[in-house]
Structure 1
Amino acid sequence: MKKPIIAWWLSAILICILPSVPFAASAQTSASFDIVVVGGTPAGIMASISAARMGKRSLILERTSHVGGLVANGLGATDIITRGATAGLFLEFVNRVKAHYVSAYGPQSKQVKDCSQGYHFEPSVGEKVLLDMLKETTLVTVLLNRQFDALPENLLIENNTIKSITVLNRQSQQKEQFSGAVFIDATYEGDLIAAAGVPYSLGREGKKEFNEPYAGQVYKLWLAERQEEGTTNLADNAVQAYNFRLCLTTDPANRIPVPKPAAYNREEYVSLIEDVLSGRHSGIEWADMPQKLRDSNIALRAQGKAPVGKWMPEGIQRLVNKVVLPNGKTDANNQHRALLSTDLPEENWPWPTAGWEWRDQFANRLKDYILGLLYFGQHDEALPEWFRNDCLQWGLSADEFKDNGNFPRQAYVREGRRMKGLYLFKAADALPLINGGRPPLHTSSITGSHYDIDSHATRKREKGKNVLDGFLSYPTMPYTVPFEVMVPPVISNLLAPVPASATHLGFATLRMEPCWMALGQAAGIAASTVILSGKPVQKVPVTTIQDELIRQGAVLIYYKDINPAHPSFKAVQKIGLKGWLPDWTVRPDEKVKRTELDEWQKLSGLKFPKHIQANQSTRSEAIQWLFSKAQ
């Protein structure tokens, strides 16, 4: 069967298809689509694909020359704790990643092992898989190098409905205008919601507002529960730090030496010297180190040897946190226990509301800072030889980001604007109501998800402190995400799956790409449902969205022993969202007990028929019948 061809490979080709529009007081509309997606992030891509599977035409407007967001820019170690908690198009992406490595290298290869069932991948492979998914439909148009500036004049809004959007073609420097029935904000910054006048939050809420653990200004040792001196738990405008997710390698045949940046400033990194020599870090292991071991490390230091103890890596692991990727590469992120790593706190605070000129300048500053950090670790003679030698083994991967000096093209914007939507997702929405139990259940769930409440630092290293403000991780349990987190209070045809409605700590768990992909998929389905129903996003039937999500393989509520391939999956999902299956397991093949039937009859107000018998029928059969009658 001949595959459909999607005309979007080159921006120049697209200009021929959709001519650019000169800037004018009333620009001529270039083209109209069912759905216009701002941001070629994974969420934006999944929104377009899910809409295409419902027969809707969408346009993706991407500012850079590549789609894929962070998945295509170094974030190859997928952030998810319970892998079955999120499925749908995200799981399809994961399975395609694994299939790529199996096809390219063989099922028993090291590459397949290192891809961790498809959850770990090289940046180029992540981008390729997303491109392959897009190419399989003719209903998605992608325009690259299209910049949306978050200004009201770039949207035409009538009666609380967005009619059209104006963007800058960065190649031709001409303005272009596109109309659509529904608009989706898939930007990391929340630029579309801001231009539409939707209220949003920045910074951190205080503890008194929602009684969230570790809310507001907080100093906390890594992996410790206690809060340190300086903690106020008060609200502020601090934004968690950004970095670049590097793709490093020790393979000499594929290793590019780390260049010394032109703006190199040694003074930015000198505090690292004492950390390396003493072993000091911001984890609980350092704070609780016995004095005898500290004294022993002083002696080792005098001998030019590395300190010992819990979490005492001898080299680059002090600069970056490494996760193995296929083909001898690593996803190099900020080191959680380091007081100085690839994050650059404080300086990024203006990013969410700044224009692109400022953002580009900061991205260049961040790039120079990170390259300078690695260069310092490899070459500064004030650092011990054992440390420099370990760092020197690593370099940039020569076959990644080849059009950008082997450096990621996109900064890791962990958090931008957070919409004030119909539901505000808080830390409590991800925390169990009882020990080991489920978090609060949302009947309007559009995806299950599971990651820690995870925030990076908001301030640089401070004199006299051995911890960074705002750097924390707090365990959660698999939770449900309500549809209302992406729904604005007023605009009738706007959805925001990425700048979702949440507190800082609520956003700190939602902000992972698996969850964003799932929210994007739901946004595409919701947008299609809005078009089909003729209702605004605030009144679209959520059950219709959920039915299509289940049909597309999404998990709305997580169970350990049921996946989308199970014949009872839909029934379990719908009954589970009613709160009638509160355990983590369904045990579908077990015989149903009399007490269970009685409980379900009490909850549903229904009476089981004679063919559903205790100790004879299976739980799956009883759940299937309940589902058929309790719609």
Structure 2
Amino acid sequence: MKNFLISLLFLIPGVLPAQPVYDVVVYGGTPAGVMAAIQVARMGQTVALLEPGRHLGGIMVEGLGGTDIDNHQEFQNSPAVGGLALEFYRRIAKAYGRSDEFEQVLRSKAKKPDIWRFEPHVAEQILLDWVAEHKIGIAYESRLLEMKDAVLKKGTAIQQIKLENGQTYRAKVFIDATIEGDLLNAAGISTVIGRESNATYGEAKNGIQAVTDHAQFLVKVDPYRVMGDPTSGVIPTIQNEPLGTPGDGDQHLQAYCFRMCLTKNPTNRIPFPKPEVYQREQYEIYLRYLKAGGKLYRPRVDIPNGKTDLGAWHDLSHNLYGMNMAYPGGNYATRQTVLAQHRQFTQGLFYFLANDEEVGRLAPDLQKEWTLWGLSKDEFTDNGGWPRLFYVRDARRMVSDYVITEHHVRKGNPPPVPDPVAVAYWPPDIHSVRRIVKDGYAYNEGSVFRDNTWQPFGISYRALIPKASECTNLLTASCPSSSHIAYGAIRIEFTFMALGQACGTAAVLANQKRVTVQAVNQKELKDKLLADGQLLSLNN
């Protein structure tokens, strides 16, 4: 009854509960945050779900409809999907009238990538309906206050958090489910941004890459404003900086991009708009790529109803290497600027590919294909068919007493994990972080993906909790304590959902026993997760 009354208050604009003490407050309406909130509610405790933006679901409702399940020939990772994550995909299948087919895929262990895919608006409606079933209170546009007193602590325990809208939330346990790790940072918990050196954790794939083979330029592209003249400076999208010392750490992070939900359907298509600020010279590298014989990417149907989840994993696409550095640790205004820059560039790129006369002369088939596509009228309807967020593949990561590293991902003799709460089944997937000049040509630096040295691994509960000296009532489901390279194996949406379920379960157990999150009984946690269908290894 208490949860129901609180939920009703959340549904009335401008009316919120008068600073109750919740059992759990979840900050961030990502898939991890939604699953954490659902798990808390199912276990009978009160929960508030605070979303800094206006929509639940994070990148899954902003274009990422192909969430990396069974989409690679070399491996099948659907056996790692369990618990609430599996329930989410069951609901997806039901929404498309494919429930029987989905259950048959599970029984037969068939590899059928399309059964896991969805349109953004369908995913959002499923999450909204699911949260409503549990009478969970949601507060939108609820960003942390950008001041030192945004988080009030008593000793090592958070007492309350303050938001920009003037609201204050108190809870026994808090969960940071943002990708940016803003609550962690505001609470004084150790975090890191960027690539560690290989020496930091004895890794081999972290830091500056001596050689980047994956998604490397397939043709040689002159990088200089005046071709052949290094003194003339570099063209847009290229950073004028040296490679550096291989293995050294730096502040760079893998590129961000919009995941574009496009359609060819004439009745649902919005032609690519010309941005208000269109700078054709920004796209010089694409012309040089075509002139060098390169084949640029083009949209293709890969989610239901003839739509795309157009990502950017090619040698040249709308991944903007090196242009996101100000985002992870920036204030809200800085982040908005970076987001706007990415949108302006990407909108201009699509308009350029579909309309530029020189592109039409160099690659008529390419341009013809791009002209057939456009934004989807029935997606992102409050934003003109354009995603409201881009894909933040990596931002802050917590640094706790326990750190997941490349050693946990590597085949052979990985460190034992006696306290797993989920399974990571994805290679260390890092998109390049910079586009520089090497040997006189454009060069993408930093990508790590295709090799046969990795294996699935259990994610330790200790990676979700801070150092006890820093905070004793906060967990994170989306910024686990992990190195840059190891995070690349964790940052998959179904894994985040599993970590959200784990955090929600642990938060409730901590409250029930009145202990710190560090003192949660691991057997009780394991038993509850298993009872709720969570996969802790590929054998259970």
Place the TM-score, normalised by the shorter chain, in its bin: 0.7 to 0.9
- Does 2:407 correspond to 1:428? yes
- Per the TM alignment, residue 465 of structure 1 is displaced from its structure 2 partner at its CA by 3.7
Secondary structure of 1:253's counterpart equals: coil
Q: Distance in 2 between matches of 1:238 and 1:223?
A: 17
Give the match for residue 487 of structure 1: 465
Q: Distance in 1 between matches of 2:271 and 2:365?
A: 18
- Does 2:35 correspond to 1:38? no
Q: Among residues 185, 189, 202, which one is paired with 1:194 in the alignment?
A: 185
Cα gap change, 1:30 to 1:71, in 2 (>3 Å): same
Q: Among residues 93, 107, 122, which one is paired with 1:98 in the alignment?
A: 93
Cα gap change, 1:474 to 1:484, in 2 (>3 Å): farther
Alignment of 1:458-607 (within 5 A): 458-462=433-437, 464-475=440-451, 476-490=454-468, 491-559=471-539, 573=540
Q: Among residues 192, 197, 216, which one is paired with 1:206 in the alignment?
A: 197
Larger radius of gyration: 1
Deviations 1:288-311 (A, max 9, x none): xxxxxxxxxxxxxxxxxxxxxxxx
Tell me which moved more, 244-253 or 189-198: 244-253
Deviations 1:128-183 (A, max 9, x none): 11112211112x211011111454301110011001111122xxxxx110100000
Give the match for residue 293 of structure 2: 279
Q: Among residues 37, 58, 61, which one is paired with 1:69 in the alignment?
A: 58
Q: Among residues 227, 233, 236, which one is paired with 2:250 in the alignment?
A: 236
- Tell whether the 8 Å contact from 1:316 to 1:390 is kept in structure 2 after alignment: no
Cα gap change, 1:260 to 1:461, in 2 (>3 Å): farther
- Tell whether the 8 Å contact from 1:98 to 1:115 is kept in structure 2 after alignment: no
Identical amino acids, percent of aligned pairs: 33
- Does 2:164 correspond to 1:161? no
- Per the TM alignment, residue 410 of structure 1 is displaced from its structure 2 partner at its CA by 1.3
- Per the TM alignment, residue 75 of structure 1 is displaced from its structure 2 partner at its CA by 0.6
Q: Distance in 1 between matches of 2:179 and 2:8?
A: 23
- Does 2:372 correspond to 1:373? no
- Per the TM alignment, residue 16 of structure 1 is displaced from its structure 2 partner at its CA by 2.2
- Per the TM alignment, residue 472 of structure 1 is displaced from its structure 2 partner at its CA by 2.2
Q: Among residues 60, 66, 87, which one is paired with 2:82 in the alignment?
A: 87
- Tell whether the 8 Å contact from 1:8 to 1:14 is kept in structure 2 after alignment: no
Give the match for residue 228 of structure 2: none
- Tell whether the 8 Å contact from 1:6 to 1:141 is kept in structure 2 after alignment: no
Query: Looking at both structures, which has the greater relative contact order when contacts are Cα pairs under 8 Å and sequence separation is at least 6?
Result: 2
Tell me which moved more, 522-531 or 353-362: 353-362
Secondary structure of 1:500's counterpart equals: coil
Give the match for residue 73 of structure 2: none
- Does 2:442 correspond to 1:447? no
Q: Distance in 2 between matches of 1:543 and 1:323?
A: 45
- Does 2:280 correspond to 1:266? yes
Q: Distance in 2 between matches of 1:474 and 1:494?
A: 35
Cα gap change, 1:123 to 1:6, in 2 (>3 Å): farther
Cα gap change, 1:422 to 1:150, in 2 (>3 Å): farther
Q: Distance in 2 between matches of 1:60 and 1:404?
A: 23
| AA partner of residue 501 (structure 2) | Q
| AA partner of residue 82 (structure 1) | N
Give the match for residue 148 of structure 1: 144
Q: Distance in 1 between matches of 2:115 and 2:98?
A: 13
- Per the TM alignment, residue 483 of structure 1 is displaced from its structure 2 partner at its CA by 0.3
Cα gap change, 1:40 to 1:367, in 2 (>3 Å): same
Q: Distance in 1 between matches of 2:530 and 2:114?
A: 23
| AA partner of residue 82 (structure 2) | A
- Tell whether the 8 Å contact from 2:85 to 2:494 is kept in structure 1 after alignment: yes
Q: Among residues 118, 124, 127, which one is paired with 2:124 in the alignment?
A: 127
Give the match for residue 392 of structure 1: 371
Secondary structure of 1:366's counterpart equals: helix
| AA partner of residue 77 (structure 1) | G
- Per the TM alignment, residue 253 of structure 1 is displaced from its structure 2 partner at its CA by 1.7
- Tell whether the 8 Å contact from 1:94 to 1:117 is kept in structure 2 after alignment: no
Deviations 1:197-227 (A, max 9, x none): 0111111011222332322111411179xxx
Secondary structure of 1:468's counterpart equals: strand
Q: Distance in 1 between matches of 2:443 and 2:7?
A: 47
Q: Distance in 2 between matches of 1:495 and 1:510?
A: 16
Q: Distance in 1 between matches of 2:327 and 2:267?
A: 37
- Per the TM alignment, residue 184 of structure 1 is displaced from its structure 2 partner at its CA by 0.5
Cα gap change, 1:251 to 1:231, in 2 (>3 Å): farther
Q: Among residues 19, 25, 41, which one is paired with 1:52 in the alignment?
A: 41
- Tell whether the 8 Å contact from 1:459 to 1:469 is kept in structure 2 after alignment: yes
Q: Distance in 1 between matches of 2:147 and 2:59?
A: 25
Alignment of 1:165-176 (within 5 A): 165-169=161-165, 175-176=166-167
Give the match for residue 289 of structure 1: none
- Tell whether the 8 Å contact from 1:152 to 1:196 is kept in structure 2 after alignment: no
Secondary structure of 2:502's counterpart equals: helix
Secondary structure of 1:392's counterpart equals: helix
Secondary structure of 1:525's counterpart equals: helix
Give the match for residue 342 of structure 1: 318
- Tell whether the 8 Å contact from 2:50 to 2:142 is kept in structure 1 after alignment: yes
Q: Distance in 2 between matches of 1:323 and 1:478?
A: 29
Deviations 1:548-579 (A, max 9, x none): 111110000013xxxxxxxxxxxxx4xxxxxx
- Per the TM alignment, residue 460 of structure 1 is displaced from its structure 2 partner at its CA by 2.9
Alignment of 1:311-322 (within 5 A): 312=295, 316-317=297-298, 322=300
- Per the TM alignment, residue 414 of structure 1 is displaced from its structure 2 partner at its CA by 1.0
- Tell whether the 8 Å contact from 2:63 to 2:260 is kept in structure 1 after alignment: yes
Q: Distance in 1 between matches of 2:45 and 2:146?
A: 26
| AA partner of residue 350 (structure 1) | A
Q: Distance in 1 between matches of 2:370 and 2:461?
A: 46
- Per the TM alignment, residue 386 of structure 1 is displaced from its structure 2 partner at its CA by 2.1
Cα gap change, 1:230 to 1:264, in 2 (>3 Å): same
Q: Distance in 1 between matches of 2:401 and 2:13?
A: 37
Provide the aligned length of Structure 1 versus Structure 2. 491
State the superposition RMSD in angstroms: 2.5
- Tell whether the 8 Å contact from 1:241 to 1:457 is kept in structure 2 after alignment: yes
Q: Distance in 2 between matches of 1:137 and 1:443?
A: 32
| AA partner of residue 190 (structure 2) | P
| AA partner of residue 145 (structure 1) | E
Alignment of 1:404-419 (within 5 A): 404-419=383-398
Alignment of 1:289-308 (within 5 A): none
Cα gap change, 1:356 to 1:9, in 2 (>3 Å): farther
Cα gap change, 1:66 to 1:229, in 2 (>3 Å): closer
- Tell whether the 8 Å contact from 1:495 to 1:523 is kept in structure 2 after alignment: yes
| AA partner of residue 455 (structure 1) | I
Cα gap change, 1:543 to 1:348, in 2 (>3 Å): same
| AA partner of residue 217 (structure 1) | I
- Per the TM alignment, residue 426 of structure 1 is displaced from its structure 2 partner at its CA by 0.6
- Tell whether the 8 Å contact from 1:7 to 1:14 is kept in structure 2 after alignment: no
- Per the TM alignment, residue 5 of structure 1 is displaced from its structure 2 partner at its CA by 7.2
